[in-house]
């Protein structure tokens, strides 16, 4: 992939362009479970080249500024309540990479990005996914906050600017849910989706697998207000759509599905020619994996 105009890539940087992914992360309990979604996350990690770092945009760091974690040892944050004790005992002791925070600030200029030295760390939108995708926690992890004060096109554009990091050995992951309406959850529906949730998820899939730079057309969809009552879980997808647009490419479906009527667990990737199933077989990225159906995804 060509370097973004105005940014030089050092000859010491990796020659391999790293993949990116949007992960529908669902409930924190997925960190403890084996299901078709966590199997797909594991497949993504197994199929990806080993990166020098992972940059994650998590729905759960939704604040009033754009910032990146810049500490050498980010803490594992248990940012939830009412879950089993064993979930609070999960630790993901990946190192940070302060130099990447400086690199990000330089790449996205004139957009300002602050350095967070002590307020955040690795939240469950990140570690519930990475504990499956990269279980040894040896790869440095940096999180980018979602600036709640910025319009949606800001996030799509910032995703395109950050795409250069994929040429520098960094995997980019957005972690959220394209359909995320907790108020509408019906626990009896299990792996089913309401008609409106399925319609919106299908519309998102059509755009992301053909014209990811047009992702904001989803705001015009008749089911947008039901599917996206708050933007926090929707925005991480825009960063990966922006990355795909910068590469003049489209996204592939990594795994698809719904939970409890009003949640989409659909995940996407870019930059992988193959993935690995739960049985260890290599095949193109697909909508499903050979693992048990999910039972608890929020």
User: Domain containing 244 — which CATH number?
Assistant: 3.40.830.10
Whether 243 has a pLDDT exceeding 60, the answer reads: yes
Query: How does residue 255 score in pLDDT terms, banded at 50, 70 and 90?
Result: very high
Band of pLDDT at residue 83, cut at 50, 70 and 90: confident
Cα–Cα dist 58/274, whole Å: 25
User: Which pLDDT value is given to residue 27?
Assistant: 85
| Cα gap 254→216, rounded to integer Å | 21
Whether 289 maps to a domain, the answer reads no
- Cα angle 7, 12, 17 (rounded to 5 degrees) comes to 65
pLDDT over 80 at 118, yes or no:
yes
In a domain, 6, yes or no: no
Has residue 252 been placed in a domain?
yes
Nearest CA to 84 out of 131, 156, 28 is that of 28
Instruction: Provide mean pLDDT across the span 75-80.
Output: 92
For residue 199, the Cα-to-chain-centroid distance in whole angstroms is 22
User: What CA–CA distance (Å, rounded) separates 285 from 276?
Assistant: 8
Write down the pLDDT at residue 188: 85
Kindly state whether residue 158 falls inside one of the protein's structural domains. yes
In whole angstroms, give the CA distance from residue 156 to residue 136. Answer: 31
Does 130 score more than 50 pLDDT?
yes
Grade residue 125 by pLDDT with cuts at 50, 70 and 90.
very high
Residue 291 falls within a domain, yes or no? no
ω into residue 110 within 30 of 0, thus cis?
A: yes
Cα–Cα dist 47/285, whole Å: 10
For position 293, what pLDDT does the model report? Answer: 39
Q: Is pLDDT of 275 > 90?
A: no
Report residue 229 as tokens: 């009552």
Q: What are residue 54's phi and psi, to 5 degrees?
A: -125, 130
CB atoms within 10 A of CB 108: 20
| Higher per-residue confidence, 289 vs 205 | 205
At 97 the pLDDT is 98
For position 226, what pLDDT does the model report?
96
Instruction: Output phi, psi for 35, to 5 deg.
Output: -150, -175
Q: Is residue 14 very low, low, confident or very high in pLDDT (cuts 50, 70, 90)?
A: low
Asked whether residue 100 is assigned to any structural domain, the reply reads yes
How far apart are alpha carbons 143 and 198 in whole angstroms? 30
* Better-predicted residue by pLDDT, 73 or 190: 73
The pLDDT, as a whole number, for residue 298 is 44
State yes or no: pLDDT of 292 exceeds 80: no
Using DSSP bridges, classify how beta strands 282-283 and 275-276 pair: parallel, antiparallel or unpaired.
antiparallel
Bridge partners (DSSP) listed for residue 193? 261
The DSSP bridge partners found for residue 144 are 57, 68
pLDDT at residue 30, as a whole number: 87
Tell me the residue range of the domain where 126 lies.
Answer: 20-283
Confidence of residue 289 (pLDDT cuts 50, 70, 90): very low
Classify residue 110: in a domain, yes or no. Answer: yes
Neighbour-count burial for 4-33, b at 16+ CB within 10 Å, e otherwise: beeeeeeeeebeebbbbbbbbbbbbbbbbb
What mean pLDDT comes out for the span 207-233?
97
Is 246 inside a domain boundary? yes
> How many domains would you assign to the chain?
1
Strands 20-24 and 141-147: unpaired
What's the rounded Cα separation, in Å, for the pair 141 and 56?
7
Determine if the pTM surpasses 0.85. Answer: yes
Q: Can you give the pLDDT at residue 6?
A: 32
What's the whole-number average pLDDT of the chain?
A: 88
């Amino acid at each position: 992939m060509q370097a973004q105009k105005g940014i030089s890539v050092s000859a010491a940087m990796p020659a391999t362009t790293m993949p990116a992914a949007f992960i529908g992360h669902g409930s924190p309990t997925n960190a403890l479970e084996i299901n078709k979604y966590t199997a797909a996350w594991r497949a993504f990690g197994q199929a990806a080249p080993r990166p020098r770092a992972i940059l994650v945009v998590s729905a759960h760091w939704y604040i009033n500024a754009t910032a990146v974690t810049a500490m050498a040892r980010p803490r594992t944050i248990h940012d939830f309540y009412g879950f089993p004790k064993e979930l609070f005992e999960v630790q993901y002791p990946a190192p940070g990479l302060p130099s990447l925070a400086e690199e990000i600030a330089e790449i996205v200029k004139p957009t300002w990005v602050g350095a967070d030295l002590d307020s955040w760390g690795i939240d469950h939108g990140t570690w519930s996914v990475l504990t499956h995708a990269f279980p040894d926690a040896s790869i440095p992890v940096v999180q980018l906050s979602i600036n709640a004060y910025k319009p949606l096109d800001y996030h799509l554009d910032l995703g395109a600017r950050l795409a250069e990091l994929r040429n520098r050995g960094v995997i980019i992951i957005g972690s959220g849910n394209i359909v995320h309406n907790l108020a509408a959850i019906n626990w009896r529906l299990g792996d089913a989706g309401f008609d409106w949730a399925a319609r919106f998820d299908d519309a998102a899939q059509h755009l992301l697998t053909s014209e990811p730079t047009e992702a904001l057309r989803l705001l015009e969809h008749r089911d947008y207000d039901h599917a996206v009552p708050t933007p926090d879980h929707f925005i991480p997808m825009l960063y990966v759509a922006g990355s795909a647009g910068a590469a003049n490419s489209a996204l592939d479906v990594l795994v698809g599905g719904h939970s409890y009527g009003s949640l989409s667990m659909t995940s996407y990737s870019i930059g992988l020619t193959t993935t690995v199933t739960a049985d260890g077989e290599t095949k193109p990225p697909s909508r499903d994996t050979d693992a048990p159906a999910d039972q608890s995804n929020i």
